[in-house]
Structure 1
Amino acid sequence: MPAVHGAAQQPDPATTPLAAQEEAQEEAPVPASDDPDATDGAATAASRVPLAEIRRYVAVYNAIKDAYVDPVDDRELMQSAIEGLLLDLDPHSAYLDKDESESFDEQTSGAYDGIGVELLQQHDRSLKVIAPIDDTPAARAGILAGDTIVAIDGKPIAQVEGMEPLRGAPGSQVTVTIVRDGRDKPFDVTLVRETIKVTSVRSRMLEPGYGYVRISTFQADTGADFQTHVDRLQAQAGGRLRGLVLDLRSNPGGLLTAAVQVADDLLDGGGIVSTRGRIPISDTRFDATPGDRMKGAPVVVLVDAGSASAAEVLAGALRDNDRARVVGSRTFGKGSVQTVLPLDNGDSVKLTTARYYTPSGRSIQASGIVPDTELAPDPALIGTADVPASLTGLSEAILPGHLRGDDEGAEGYKAGSPLPGDQPIAAALAELKKLVARAPAATQVR
């Protein structure tokens, strides 16, 4: 297992498809202290509560209760106020009701009932598609990264209670209304819900000696599955692969620890990732332990604009340690960590508490990972359902209210593009063969 330095953390899924949530790397409320001085500290903190602002809030609350045209339920009004506290912080901080909180636990098992799409709720409550999950109703129906869901079963998103309408019994139908760049009008897509059993790791041999592993998301068993697939490919290659293409395209993230485990399997030492925030529990560093499962054979990592969060952590760790060459397009730039703070009523607050840093000390936030070799979408797919001609600019940096990145606004910044199809795999294989040809004789297999 990788070495961990800093505060203990309990990672949770980075993304939950049906709740339209992003990264929740920790579920660790600040513990109560037995320190006798803790009470004094709490009192000091309480004394900093802006009483004048609290009075202003109460005045507005009372005005709504007394004068709004229709009666307003106290709980609904308070719920709206609480959600408003988090709404303008950044796109990934949110209030989660009990059902949404429980969906995080479902994601770690890789099974849930729904349509299979990773979503981000925007300020206008519409749902931006980060990535459809491989081999799910959403992917088979042609829903694309960059699409925006503006209605569910004919109801505008503003009238929908949470994301629950996307969930439902297997075999039941749901219709989503999509806005897509390059299409003049919104259009409807009807999907049949399934029990989504996400197979996060797939593999095959591209050519004799050259393996291919696709990781579509990071969940609880991804690390172990990665080891199984690599060992199987090694056996097919006669005991040792000449090289490996690791495909992280449209991988929206997931469990940080799963991505760290994969990195550790490919590294013989060095840092993997660190997180830094304002409170000690947010400061953590993961280091690799000795033992490279590939025994030094070259690796190429394939990424695109849909590669986010934990996928970016993995790509950054391998590149910064000179363990892999990154090929594709600029990644999404989701470089922040969210902590899930459980509440007594079963709800939770998901709060951005830290930033990711690659081993070289660079922040991923709003800048992403720039590949060593950049690829463009397959010209044969541009203008088709796979790559609409105007589908550009998919990145964290364009999200309203996003957390500003250390390298944001750098000269020459250009958001990445989705790279569907087999052509990017062929390009990655070509790069891999170049690495194999340049590799020291001791790492080559003939």
Structure 2
Amino acid sequence: MKFSEFRSMRLSMLSLLGCLLAAPAWSAQPPMPAPAASAEAPTGMSLGDDDAVPAAAGSAAAPTDALGLKDIRYFSRVLEVVKQAYVDPVSNPTLMKAAINGMLSGLDPHSAFLDKAGLAQLDEDTTGQYSGLGIEVMETGGLLRIVSPIDDTPASRAGILAGDTIVKINGKSITPDNIDKLYEQLRGDAGSKISLTIVHARSTTPIELHLVRERITMASVKVRELEPGYAYIRISQFQDDTSNDLERKLGSLIRKYGQPRGAVLDLRSNPGGLLTAAVGVADDFLDRGGIVSTRGRLQDANMRFDAHPGDLLKGAPMVVLVDNGTASAAEIVSGALKDNRRALIMGRRTFGKGVVQTVLPLDPEHAVKITTARYYTPNGTSIQAEGIQPDIPLPELAVRKVDDTGSFGIGSEADLPNHLANQGTTTGKTTDTGAADTALATRDYPLSQALNVLKALALNHGPPPVAAH
């Protein structure tokens, strides 16, 4: 069963994780009337273990997977056993809700039943505003594993990383019996305190963190100049307004600094989001070609999305940074840019969530979030449980600065006494870009490597186009 502080992100959050990759909303069929309950079997109907419910009058034959009376009887018996023998009294509504949740969670980790609170949370998540810590989590072996932290939130500022595991909440150990109840504590009123005991990936030492919940307003897009001529675009998740926000912020950067020679698109630890937002972002960087297709059993689940003319970067080279927290909608964008040979993908293999969830309403206060389709990259590849392999694999490495001036403090000819002055046409002392490169490498090694690759691509691409006035 999937859990998420965006717990049902229509992301395909429609979490695409889980993230919900959101497909178009469909109207739910009117609920079918429930059959009348009866303690007695209808006349002429055997209650033998192997008997199936007979086909409706006039039908050719019962379906091969018809529900057997044996199964109905087992369900009824288990219900009665729980009602009579469970250590604490359990109400019928609680048991029925648990049965529905069990049925859906048995299908896959992303299908779920949404009550009024779940629907309200879904609405909050797709707008990017809620009160909590700023993390997406999912159940793994009775514990809560961090799928990804959201940028500039209590979780990210505390050093929580994708792959970490929450083992305690407010000092109480997480077990399969209390995981639902403890999960709910991740959200709460802004200003309220919570303690998490986590274990970092590849570590066995628990760390206790004390955090304060905040009203999380997630700006999904950040754009800045990485260095003159090169843009940095960070998308933390895919919300309703992500594509419009990207167009606005990147347009502002271009008006200020001119058309960039290249751009790094950072999708690391992006848990996904809405299908429509992923399509819009991919379309912003493509002039033509396919973006994604979806296939399911229902006719409305079979869709194809293609790019329209209008590349915001005018064909300038792109490098996309990904890691094991890149999921769902973020994988759609990565796959579209890779298959169309629009960008080089660098980093680690992505999460591998290649299925789409749709929210189907049952009534005004209840709905089912159910997996309705698989999605495929333009080349027809399903990344479900496989992920996207980067063009340039890049391990997670840390870089530290070392003294490069040698044992005598001499790092270049200019450090030697009585060296001859430069007689060229340059004036003043040239700028040493090594310090800036070192600072970026020590702060974010994958990003520094992406920038180096981007510069190489830009050399072959030529100068950016000059805007007409």
Report TM bin, short chain: 0.7 to 0.9
Letter in 1 for 2:189: A
Match of 2:420 in 1: none
Letter in 2 for 1:25: A
Match of 2:431 in 1: none
The 3 A distance-change label for structure 1 pair 185 and 209 is closer
1:307 equivalenced with 2:305 (yes/no): no
Letter in 2 for 1:117: I
**Does structure 2 conserve the Cα–Cα contact (< 8 Å) formed by 1:106 and 1:112?**
yes
Query: C-alpha distance in 2, partners of 1:67/1:204?
Result: 62
Query: C-alpha distance in 1, partners of 2:95/2:243?
Result: 44
Match of 1:413 in 2: none
Match of 1:113 in 2: 131
The 3 A distance-change label for structure 1 pair 200 and 421 is farther
How does the TM-score come out when normalised to structure 1? 0.80
1:22 equivalenced with 2:39 (yes/no): no
The 3 A distance-change label for structure 1 pair 69 and 429 is closer
Match of 1:53 in 2: 71
Q: Which runs of 5+ in 1 are unaligned?
A: 1-10, 34-38, 382-418
Could you tell me the percent identity over the aligned residues? Answer: 51
Match of 1:429 in 2: 451
Please, which of 207, 220, 226 is the counterpart of residue 187 of structure 1? 207
Deviation per CA, 1:122-179, whole angstroms, max 9, x where unpaired? 352x221011100100001111111122332233443252733111111110112223
Q: State the secondary structure of the residue aligned to 1:331.
A: coil
Letter in 2 for 1:201: V
* C-alpha deviation, 1:222, in angstroms: 1.0
Query: C-alpha distance in 2, partners of 1:362/1:427?
Result: 28
Query: C-alpha distance in 2, partners of 1:245/1:181?
Result: 27
Please, which of 104, 108, 111 is the counterpart of residue 86 of structure 1? 104
Please, which of 326, 332, 336 is the counterpart of residue 345 of structure 2? 326
Query: C-alpha distance in 2, partners of 1:21/1:366?
Result: 13
Query: C-alpha distance in 2, partners of 1:78/1:329?
Result: 42
Deviation per CA, 1:303-328, whole angstroms, max 9, x where unpaired? 11111111110011011111111111
| Residue-pair matches, total | 388
Alignment of 1:35-434 (within 5 A): 48-122=66-140, 124=142, 126-157=143-174, 158-159=177-178, 160-161=180-181, 163-238=183-258, 240-344=259-363, 346-380=365-399, 421-434=443-456
Query: C-alpha distance in 2, partners of 1:61/1:241?
Result: 65
* C-alpha deviation, 1:181, in angstroms: 3.6
Letter in 2 for 1:145: A
Query: C-alpha distance in 1, partners of 2:182/2:64?
Result: 32
**Does structure 2 conserve the Cα–Cα contact (< 8 Å) formed by 1:22 and 1:120?**
no
Letter in 1 for 2:69: L
Q: State the secondary structure of the residue aligned to 2:181.
A: coil
Query: C-alpha distance in 2, partners of 1:367/1:40?
Result: 46
The 3 A distance-change label for structure 1 pair 256 and 16 is closer
Query: C-alpha distance in 1, partners of 2:26/2:465?
Result: 49
Query: C-alpha distance in 2, partners of 1:237/1:94?
Result: 47
Deviation per CA, 1:314-349, whole angstroms, max 9, x where unpaired? 011011111111111111111111122222262322
Letter in 2 for 1:71: P
Match of 2:45 in 1: none
Tell me whether 46-55 or 250-259 shows the greater mean CA deviation: 46-55
Deviation per CA, 1:232-256, whole angstroms, max 9, x where unpaired? 2222333x21111111111111111
Query: C-alpha distance in 1, partners of 2:246/2:137?
Result: 25
**Does structure 2 conserve the Cα–Cα contact (< 8 Å) formed by 1:130 and 1:252?**
yes
Letter in 1 for 2:144: L
Match of 1:7 in 2: none
Runs ≥4 residues deviating over 4 A = 43-47, 441-446
Query: C-alpha distance in 2, partners of 1:62/1:374?
Result: 55
**Does structure 2 conserve the Cα–Cα contact (< 8 Å) formed by 1:303 and 1:331?**
yes
**Does structure 2 conserve the Cα–Cα contact (< 8 Å) formed by 1:246 and 1:302?**
yes
**Does structure 1 conserve the Cα–Cα contact (< 8 Å) formed by 2:14 and 2:22?**
no
The 3 A distance-change label for structure 1 pair 108 and 420 is farther
* C-alpha deviation, 1:360, in angstroms: 0.3
Q: Which runs of 5+ in 2 are unaligned?
A: 1-8, 31-56, 401-440
The 3 A distance-change label for structure 1 pair 47 and 438 is closer
Structure 1 or 2, whichever has the larger Rg, is: 2
The 3 A distance-change label for structure 1 pair 69 and 113 is closer
* C-alpha deviation, 1:223, in angstroms: 0.5
The 3 A distance-change label for structure 1 pair 292 and 68 is closer
**Does structure 2 conserve the Cα–Cα contact (< 8 Å) formed by 1:24 and 1:340?**
no
